[in-house]
């Protein structure tokens, strides 16, 4: 019977704690480099928002994937502050495979979409290393008047006529 001390010493045995620890360390380093490359491809350097420039006021909503908060954003000391929406991935999801990458893709998409009818991307912040994935956030303009769902439902009840066709909506996304 193998014990913890000799678990990896026999042929075909489980890896030892030290080999497993080394493999985990290598995987964390590789993942951290991958996250840094993805964040750099998002323009991380040009739109980096320090968490200290945000003052969270209240939670606006939450779903299974993320939490959205209302905050005051001060771009630099002495600059005018403005209200923004801050989206943070749920910390427990940051460790699950693929979730952090999906959040990064959402940031990339928010950054690219520019239209007068779409809330604007302000920037992102948090950590570039894998261990900081749970602290990553992105900032967008704050949409006053409630959630998008509430606004759409109110519009549908007040005006049952379609304002935009499916083609017009797709055209907005492709610009």
Domain boundaries, the chain: 41-143
Residue 14 DSSP symbol: P
- Residue 69: the pLDDT is 95
Q: Say what the pLDDT of residue 101 is.
A: 87
What's the pLDDT tens digit per position in 113-160? Answer: 888 888 899 999 986 555 567 788 999 999 887 777 787 788 778 876
DSSP 161: S
The predicted pLDDT at position 13 comes to: 45
pLDDT, position 18:
58
pLDDT of residue 115: 86
Q: What integer pLDDT is reported at residue 92 of this predicted model?
A: 84
Look at residues 84, 83, 91 and name the one whose alpha carbon lies nearest to residue 124. 84
Q: Is 87 annotated as a binding residue?
A: yes
Hey, what CATH topology would domain 41-143 get? Phosphorylase Kinase; domain 1 (3.30.200)
Residues of the chain with pLDDT under 50: 1-15, 32, 35-36, 39, 42-46
Residue 142's pLDDT is 93
| Euclidean distance between CA atoms 76 and 85, whole angstroms | 18
Considering only CA atoms, which of 52, 173, 61 is closest in space to residue 117? 173
For residue 104, what are its two tokens? 């990064």
Looking at residue 157, its pLDDT comes to 82
Q: Do residues 98 and 110 touch, judged by C-beta distance below 8 A? A: no
Q: Which helix (H) or strand (E) holds 121?
A: strand 121-125
Q: Is 173 exposed, middle or buried (CB count within 10 Å of its CB: 0-12, 13-18, 19+)?
A: exposed
List, as one string, the DSSP characters of 25-85.
Answer: HHHHHHHHHHHHHHHHHTTTTTSB--GGGEEEEEEEEE-SSEEEEEEEE-SSTTSPPEEEE
Number of residues in the chain: 175
**SS3 label, residue 148:** helix
């Amino acid at each position: 019977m193998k014990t913890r001390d000799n678990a990896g010493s026999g042929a075909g045995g489980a890896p030892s704690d030290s080999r497993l620890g080394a493999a985990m360390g290598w995987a964390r380093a590789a993942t951290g480099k991958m996250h840094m490359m993805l964040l750099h491809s998002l323009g991380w350097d040009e739109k980096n928002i320090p968490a200290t420039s945000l003052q969270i006021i209240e939670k606006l909503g939450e779903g299974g994937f993320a939490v959205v908060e209302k905050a005051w954003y001060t771009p630099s000391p002495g600059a005018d502050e403005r209200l923004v929406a801050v989206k943070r991935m749920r910390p427990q999801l940051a460790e699950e495979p693929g979730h952090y990458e999906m959040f990064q893709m959402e940031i990339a998409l928010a950054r690219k979409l520019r239209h007068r009818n779409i809330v604007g991307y302000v920037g992102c912040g948090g950590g570039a290393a894998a261990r900081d994935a749970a602290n990553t956030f992105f900032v967008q303009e704050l949409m006053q008047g409630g959630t998008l769902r509430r606004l759409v439902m109110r519009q549908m009840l007040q005006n049952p006529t379609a304002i935009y066709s499916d083609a017009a909506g797709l055209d907005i996304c492709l610009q």
